[in-house]
Chain A
Amino acid sequence: DAMVIQNPRYQVTQFGKPVTLSCSQTLNHNVMYWYQQKSSQAPKLLFHYYDKDFNNEADTPDNFQSRRPNTSFCFLDIRSPGLGDAAMYLCATSRDLAGGFNEQFFGPGTRLTVL
């Protein structure tokens, strides 16, 4: 089945220790998104890629970086995690919007704990 996969599902890191979260997709979608979600809140968009074009949200801290080496994979790097970065991180994909709707398909998420 075509899907969005996130690894790991749970990540524990120490304050200030860099961490990388990964996302892969078999949907062959052009667009990939990273969201941060805190308890019972709506997902907050951090950035997204349209193919190789990176689009950062204005309020995304510099501490968060992303890489998309190819269509299938996208990474979220948190350079120096703080306690406030503990959250669920969601990856989503959507296909080229030309003539279509922005239906986004989400992975299961990575729950990040910062000690």
Chain B
Amino acid sequence: TQLLEQSPQFLSIQEGENLTVYCNSSSVFSSLQWYRQEPGEGPVLLVTVVTGGEVKKLKRLTFQFGDARKDSSLHITAAQTGDTGLYLCAGDDGRTDKLIFGTGTRLQVFP
């Protein structure tokens, strides 16, 4: 069974701080996605990483896919209150129509 473990599970920080969320698995994925979900809304796709070692930037967010395509990280620089939400990584095994979702990281950014 493929599993994606995220850490930390919860993160509470003040505006302006930096943070990193990790997404780890023992399985190889053909691609991996990061979503942010705000309370009461559906997840919104932030980025898809495909190539081992790939780094993608989205404003203050930096996403990295591990060289072996088994893990990924999300780094947020100078967090803002608008970054608050549930961050989910999701892996695509490239064989089925399904995504394997990570366990989630709930981020709270205080002013």
Interface residues of A, Cβ cutoff 8 Å to B? 4, 6, 31, 40-43, 45, 48, 50, 55, 90, 92, 94, 97, 101-109, 111
B104:A42 contact, CB within 8 angstroms:
yes
**Which residue of chain B is the closest to A106 with respect to CB atoms?**
B42
Q: Interface of chain B, helix or strand or loop or mixed? A: strand
Task: Count CB-based A-B contacts (< 8 Å).
Answer: 56
- A40-B106, A90-B43, A107-B42 are contacts. A101–B97 as well, Cβ < 8 Å? no
A97:B102 contact, CB within 8 angstroms:
no
A43:B98 contact, CB within 8 angstroms:
no
Most buried by B among A4, A45, A101: A101
Partner of A43, one of B30, B44, B101: B101
- A101-B30, A101-B92 are contacts. A109–B41 as well, Cβ < 8 Å? yes
Interface residues of B, Cβ cutoff 8 Å to A? 30-31, 33, 35, 40-45, 48, 50, 86, 88, 90, 92, 97-99, 101-104, 106
| B50 contacts across to A, CB distance below 8 A | 101
Per the bound structure, the CA–CA distance linking A104 and B48 in Å amounts to 10
- A101-B48, A103-B48 are contacts. A111–B40 as well, Cβ < 8 Å? yes
| A107 contacts across to B, CB distance below 8 A | 42
**Which residue of chain A is the closest to B89 with respect to CB atoms?**
A42
